Amino acid sequence: MKRTQAFIVLGFVVSFMLTIGFFMQASSEREKRVTAERNLFSVIEAKKASEARFNKQLESASNLIREKDIVVSNLLTELENSRQSNIKLSQKLALLNTRIALNKEKKRAVELEKIVVTSMLEAEGKVLAVDKENDLVIVSLGSVNNAKNGDRLSIYRGKDFIANAELVKVQSEISAAMLLSGGKAKNKDIDVKVNDLAKLL
């Protein structure tokens, strides 16, 4: 009987010890699980924070890239505008140079034509006086018309030829000329008169 009671007590003690051990093991595992869950939560929170920082940095980098693209695009646009402006300015400059060259040519042509016309006008004069006795006439031609002693001139009335003459005394704006008998018109009744036209030959 005593032996049986001893086994019962021993079994009870063993069961109690096993129960306490199981309880302590369960409590330890629960604490480990809680600790693990806390660590996992901390890791998840750290990961979320890291992802948030990364996304923020990525957004900032994307904004910088967009701003850089805008700046580059603006610079390219300005560069193209400058190139087009340079082309237009070069074309305008070439056109102006061409116009200047043409104007110079025209100016030269006009000046040459003016000189020729002036020369032709100055080579014509009028009979200012007639000395029939000495066959001399005074004409409005002189050294300003490049006339010189010995030059010959023809005298006209309208389109009709009257006589030839030779310059014998040239001054600045007037000259004396001797009528040449061999150069008179066929009609001997036609005499040189004042205001007849005198042309240098």
CA 176 – CA 174 distance, rounded (Å): 7
Q: Name the residue with higher pLDDT: 58 or 16.
A: 58
CA-to-CA dists, residue 117 to 90, 106, 110, angstroms: 40, 16, 10
Q: In this structure, what CATH number is given to the domain that contains residue 150?
A: 2.40.10.340
CA 152 – CA 46 distance, rounded (Å): 123
Where among 85, 103, 122 does a domain terminate? 122
CA 201 – CA 197 distance, rounded (Å): 13
Residue 150 banded pLDDT, cuts 50, 70, 90: very high
Residues 137, 67 share a domain? no
CB atoms under 10 Å from CB of 16, counted, come to 10
Residues 81, 52 share a domain? yes
Whether 140 is covered by a domain: the verdict is yes
Whether 154 is covered by a domain: the verdict is yes
Residues 67, 86 share a domain? yes
Q: Which of 1-5, 51-55, 95-99 is least confident? A: 1-5
Residues 131, 66 share a domain? no
How many domains is the chain built from?
2
Where among 122, 146, 164 does a domain terminate? 122
Task: Classify strands 152-157 and 197-200 as parallel, antiparallel or unpaired.
Answer: antiparallel
Where among 122, 139, 165 does a domain terminate? 122
CA 82 – CA 125 distance, rounded (Å): 65
Residue 175 banded pLDDT, cuts 50, 70, 90: very high
pLDDT at 113: 41
pLDDT tens-place string over residues 64-84: 788 867 876 776 787 688 778
CA end-to-end span of the chain: 183
DSSP letter at 96 equals H
The tokens describing 30, both together, are 């629960």
Half-sphere exposure of 136 (CA within 13 A, CB side): 9
Whether 160 is covered by a domain: the verdict is yes
- Checking if the pLDDT of 155 tops 70, the result is yes
Residues spanned by the domain of 118: 39-122
The tokens describing 74, both together, are 């603006």
